[in-house]
Amino acid sequence: MAENLVERIVHWSLLAVTAIYLVSGIGITEYRTVELLTFGLLTKNLSFAIHTNLGIPFLVLLVIHVFIKPLSRAYTRLVGRA
């Protein structure tokens, strides 16, 4: 049960970070449109700061997302044999 909860948290966190990463990237290139759609809340400078600072969290969540199943299977095999 706890493994399933951790997987769901990682999956949804990765989805949220990916969406924010994409929106901030669009906010850098199409800043006038994004500023208009967000009523001036997401400026070009803020989009650049968010996009720059999300690189490492995105990669960490992506690696965890990819390796969470194989690592949990390996762990259950090792614990199951002991």
Cβ–Cβ contacts within 10 Å for residue 51, how many?
19
Range of the domain at 68: 2-81
Predicted confidence (pLDDT) per residue in 11-28, tens digit: 999 999 999 999 999 999
The C-alpha atoms of residue 32 and residue 36 are separated, in whole angstroms, by 6
Query: Residue range 63-82: average pLDDT?
Result: 83
Provide the 10 A C-beta neighbour count for residue 34: 22
pTM here is 0.81
Report helix, strand or coil for 1. coil
User: Domain count of the chain?
Assistant: 1
Closest CA to 63 of 2, 13, 24, 3: 13
